A and B are shown apart, each in its own frame.
Chain A
Amino acid sequence: MSKLITSRRGLLKGAAAGGLLAASPLVSRYAQAQSSAPIRIGFQQHSTGIGAAYGRWYGRTTEAAAKAINDAGGINGRPLEIVAEDDGTDPKRGAEVVEKFANQHECDVAFGTLFSHVVFGSAPAAGELKIPYFVVSEGHHVASGALNRYTLQPGITDVKSQVQAMAPYVSQNLGKKVTMIFPDFAFGHDHRDFFTQAIEAQGGEVLEHIAIPPTETSFTKYFPKIPRDTEVLYHVMVGPAVLTFVKELGEFFGPSAPAIFGFIDSLEAVDMSSPGLEFLDGTYFWEGMPRYAQADQTEYDKAFRAAVGVDENGASVSDAKDVSTYAHMFGCWETLYIIKRGMEASGYAGPQDRAKLIEAVEAMSAMDEGFEHPQGPKIFNGKTHQTFGKQYISRVENGRMVRVHSTSIEDTFYPDEVDYTAQSF
C-alpha cells in the first residue's frame, strides 16, 4: 500500500518533489514518448513452409500499407510499426508467434495470417491473451463460429461466400453438369460442400467429386474419372504441385475440353505464360481481385499497384517473373486500414483499449471502394466478424485474364452462423 502524506512538513516535501518532477524535462520527454510511441502490429508471416509465396507478397503489401499510413500521419498521431515473425505456415509455431507478439514484442494487435490451419492453431492463443487477431485467410473459420471474439476477418471475403457467388454465372454461362476436382483436405472440402449446394440451388448438379490427396505430385490418374457428359470442370488446388496439376490437366484434354472454371488459387503466384498453360485460353477463373490491370482500371487499383510495386500484369515491377498473389494480398492492405479506422474510432491508446478496438470494428458496416479498399466495396458483419464483398470472374484471353463478370455483394450473403458480440471479452 502506498504511504499517505499526512504531516504539514511531509505535504510540503511532497508538493515540492511533485513540482520538481513536473518541471523536469525527463517527465515531459517520457509523456511525449508515450503519446508518440509506435503502434506495433504483429505480422504473422508465412515466410517459410507451404505458404511462402503468399507470405512474401503479404509482406510486401503490409509494408506498403504501413508506409502509406505513416506517410499520411500514422494512427492517432502515432506511427505504425510492423513486427514480422515467421510462423513456418505451421499451426503450433503460429500459436507461439501470437504469444510472442502479446508477451514479448508487446504488440497492440496480431495480423496477417492466411492458411486456415495456422488460424485455427493460433486463435486460441489470441483469445486467451486477449489480443485482437485480424486474419487475412478467406477461410470460413471465423464466420462459422469456431473461433472467438478476439479473431476477426474484416479485410477479405470467405470461401463460402466466394463459392456461392460463382454458381449463378457458372450455371447460366458455362453449363449445369459440373465435375469438381479439389484437394482432399478441409479447404477443398469447403469448396466441395458449398459449391455443390450452390449449383443445385441454381438447377445444376455435380456429376463427380474428385478429391486429390494432399501428398499427390502427379494427377494424370485422376482425370479419367471425369464423366464424359461433364459440361464444366471446376478445379481448385493449392500447394507446390499446382503448376503440374494444371499442365497435366491440359495434356489430358488436348483440344476437346469441357468448359473449365477454376479458382485462381490453382495458379496464384504462377506466371500465366509458363509453358504448358496455353490451353487455359478461353477458360475461366475466380479472382478476388483481377491480377491484370483491366481496361476500366480504377485509380484505386492503380495506386495500390504502384504502392506495392506490382506492374499491370500482376508481377513485381523489378522482376516480371515474380508474379504476385494478387487475388488475396489486397486483404492485408485493407485490413491495416480497418485497424486504423477502428483505432481512431475507439480512441485507441494502448493494450488496455483492445476490447474497445474490437467493439469499434464490430460496429463497422459499409466500406466504400477507395484507396483504403482498392478491391471494391464491402459490407462487414460485426456479429460474424466476417466481411462480404464483390467477386470477379475472368476469362483467359491471349494469356491475360480479362474480367467478364462482377458479382454483387448481396450475391455473397448467407445467414449468420454465430454472434460473437454475445461473447464476453
Chain B
Amino acid sequence: MSETGKIWALHLALIAALIVAGLVLPAYHQGNLARILVLATYAVGYNLLFGYTGLLSLGHAMFFGAGMYGLGLAMQHGDVSALPAFVIGLICAAVLAAVVALLALRTIGVAFMIVTLMFAQSAFLTVLYFGEWTRGDEGFVLQQATRQIAGVDLSEPTNRYYAALILFSAALLITLKLVRARFGRVLVAIRENEERTRMLGYDCFRHKFLAVVLSGTLSGAAGAAYGLLFGYVGASFTGVQYSIFPLLWVLLGGAGTVIGPFVGALFMFYLIDYASGWTSAYMLIAGAVLVALTLFAPLGLMGELRKRWLRWLP
C-alpha cells in the first residue's frame, strides 16, 4: 500500500473503530469517550500550533472558553438556538484568536508563552468580572430542552457520542489534510527553522497568524461543543489548568502527530479515572507516569511509534 493509502487507512480506521465503539461500549465508557472526543478536538487544535508550528501557547483555555461562552451566553441570554449559537461560539474564538495572534506573534519563544498566558488570565478575569451575565466561577447550566439541533436531543447519550465523534472526525481529517498540504509543510518548516523558511521566500508571519486562528477556532469549536453536549458553562474552563491540559495531552500522545492528541487525551483521562479508584493521591500517580513517559518516550506515544516503526505517520 502506498504511504498515502496507509495514512488514510489508519485515520479512517480510527474513526470506524470509534463508530463501532459507540455501539458496543457500556454506558459509562461511552459517556467517557464522548468527553474524550471533545477534549481530543481541543488537543488537535492545540497540536496544530504547538506540534506543527512550534509555537508553545500557555493560554489556549481562552479560545476554548471563547467558544464555550460564545455559545453559552447566546443561548442563555439571547435565546439563540443551538446551531447558530455554535456558530457564534466559533466566530468568537476565531476573532479572539486573530486579535491575540496580531499581538502575541510580535514575540517569540518564552515571551510568546508569557504573553499567551497573560491574555488567558485576562480572559479568565473578564469572565469573573462580568459575573452578572456569566455567573462567574459558578457558571450556568444550559437547560436540556434547549440542547437540540434539528430535533436531535444532544443530551441523549448516544446522540451526544455521535455528535462528539462528528466534531472530532472533522477536526482530525481537516488537520490531516492541512498538515499534508503545502500550508502544513511550511508550518513544519517554520517549526524547524524560521529564518531559513523566511529566506526561502515564505511569509512566516502570515502562516503563523493563520495557524493561531485555525488552532484557536478548533479549540473554540471544542469549547462550544463541550457546553452544548454536557450542558454546563463555567469559568474553570478558562483557568490556567485548561491551558496546561492540551499541552500535556499533546506531549503524551506525540506532538506533531495527527493522531497523538486523541491518544494523549484518552490515556490521561483513563489514567486519572482508574488511579482515583486506587488512591486519593491519584495526581501523584499521574505525575509519576508523566515523568516516566518524558524520560522513556520523550516524543510521546505516537511520536515514539513513528520514530521506531511507522516512519510514514503524519
Residues of A within 8 A of B (CB): 47-48, 85-86, 90-92, 95-96, 99-100, 103-104, 116-117, 120-121, 123-125, 127-128, 139, 141, 146-148, 184-187, 189, 213-215
Q: Given A86-B280, A189-B132, 15 other A-B contacts at CB below 8 A?
A: A91-B232, A103-B26, A117-B139, A117-B235, A120-B138, A120-B232, A120-B234, A121-B234, A121-B236, A124-B155, A128-B144, A148-B144, A185-B131, A185-B136, A213-B128
CB under 8 Å from chain A, chain B span 114-168: 125, 128-129, 131-132, 135-144, 155-157
Q: List A contacts of B309 (CB < 8 A).
A: none
Q: Are A120 and B26 in contact (CB under 8 A)?
A: no
Q: Closest CB-CB distance, B53 to chain A, in whole Å?
A: 28
Question: What is the chain B residue whose CB lies nearest that of A183?
Answer: B137
B binding-site residues for A, Cβ under 8 Å = 26-28, 31-32, 35, 125, 128-129, 131-132, 135-144, 155-157, 230-232, 234-237, 273, 276, 280, 282-283
List the A side residues contacting B27 at CB < 8 Å: 103
CB distance from A192 to the nearest CB of B (A): 10
Main secondary structure on chain B at its contact with chain A? helix
By DSSP majority rule, is chain A's interface helix, strand, loop, or mixed?
helix
A-B contact pairs, 26 of them (CB 8 A): A47-B280, A85-B276, A86-B282, A91-B234, A96-B32, A99-B31, A103-B28, A117-B137, A117-B138, A117-B139, A121-B234, A123-B141, A148-B141, A148-B144, A184-B129, A184-B131, A184-B136, A185-B128, A185-B136, A186-B131, A186-B136, A186-B138, A187-B137, A189-B131, A214-B128, A215-B125
State the Cβ distance, A257 to closest chain B Cβ, in Å: 29
Verify A120–B141 contact, CB threshold 8 A. yes
Q: A99-B28, A103-B26 are in contact. Are A121 and B139 (CB under 8 A)?
A: yes
B128 touches A48 (CB 8 A): no
CA–CA, A185 and B135, complex, Å: 8
A125 to B156, CA, bound (A): 10
- Which B residues are CB-close (under 8 A) to A125? 230-231
Closest partner residue, chain A, to B31 (CB atom): A99
Tell me whether A141 and B138 are in contact in the complex, defined as CB-CB below 8 angstroms, given that A47-B280, A86-B276, A90-B236 are known contacts: yes
What chain B residues lie within 8 Å of A214 (beta carbons)? 128, 137
The 3 closest A-B pairs by CB, nearest first: A124-B231, A103-B28, A186-B138
Question: CA separation between A167 and B26, bound complex, in Å?
Answer: 52
Instruction: Give chain A residues whose Cβ lies under 8 Å from the Cβ of B128.
Output: 184-185, 213-214
- Name the distance in Å between A396's Cβ and chain B's nearest Cβ: 30
- The answer to whether B31 and A103 have CB atoms under 8 Å apart is yes
Give Cα distance in the complex from A271 to B232, angstroms: 36
Report chain B residues within 8 Å CB of A187.
137-138
Distance between Cα atoms of A117 and B283 in the complex (Å) = 21
Given known contacts A48-B280, A48-B283, A99-B28, A124 and B137 CB-to-CB distance under 8 angstroms: no
Closest CB in chain A relative to B7 CB, distance in Å = 33
Chain A residue contacts of B140, Cβ below 8 A: 120, 146
Q: Measured between alpha carbons, how far is A95 from B26 in the docked complex, in Å?
A: 17
Q: Decide: A117 near B155, CB < 8 A? Known: A124-B141, A186-B135.
A: no
A117-B236 contact in complex given A148-B144, A185-B137, A214-B128, C-beta closer than 8 Å: yes
